[in-house]
């Protein structure tokens, strides 16, 4: 059975990412006394960790979980990069829509108007290609 046709393993998630090695899908529930919890919280507050879960994972695995954290940081950076380029592509798409609107509203163009529209179209397509090239270089596609 192909990956796309496999049933979901968990409700609310798409089926093909459930088996990723770095996805944190398991939780560990432990009971602590108030004294133990205060001690844990105080030791966590003395560190640079922004969450108690990160601190506990680091303590349990003695810092060996870093490659998992790097994976998630890279995914976040990819989302930021994609958002930046999608915004730029959106601007160029608006330019194309404006050119198309001008073409559909007017039936007869002078040579000068035609040349301006063609130049605008070339500039927009060139800008889109530049965005694609920048994204490809930064993403190393």
pLDDT tens for the chain, 141 residues long, are: 444 555 556 565 555 545 566 677 778 888 999 999 999 999 999 988 888 888 888 888 877 666 665 666 677 777 777 777 778 788 888 888 887 787 778 777 777 887 888 888 888 888 888 877 777 776 654
Residues in the chain: 141
* Torsion, CA 12, CA 20, CA 75, CA 62, rounded to 10: 120
- State how far the Cα of 128 lies from the Cα of 112, in Å rounded to an integer: 24
User: Whole-angstrom distance between the N-terminal and C-terminal Cα of the chain?
Assistant: 29
């Amino acid at each position: 059975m192909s990956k796309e046709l496999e049933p979901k393993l968990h409700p609310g998630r798409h089926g093909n990412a459930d088996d990723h090695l770095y996805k944190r899908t398991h939780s560990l529930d432990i009971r602590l006394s108030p004294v133990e919890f205060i001690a844990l919280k105080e030791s966590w507050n003395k560190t640079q960790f922004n969450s108690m879960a990160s601190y506990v994972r680091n303590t349990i695995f003695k810092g060996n979980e870093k490659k998992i954290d790097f994976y998630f940081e890279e995914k976040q950076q990819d989302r930021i990069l994609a958002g930046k380029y999608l915004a730029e592509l959106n601007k160029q798409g608006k330019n194309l829509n404006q050119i198309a609107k001008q073409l559909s509203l007017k039936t007869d163009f002078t040579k000068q108007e035609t040349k301006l529209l063609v130049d605008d179209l070339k500039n927009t397509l060139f800008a889109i290609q530049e965005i694609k090239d920048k994204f490809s270089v930064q993403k190393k596609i």
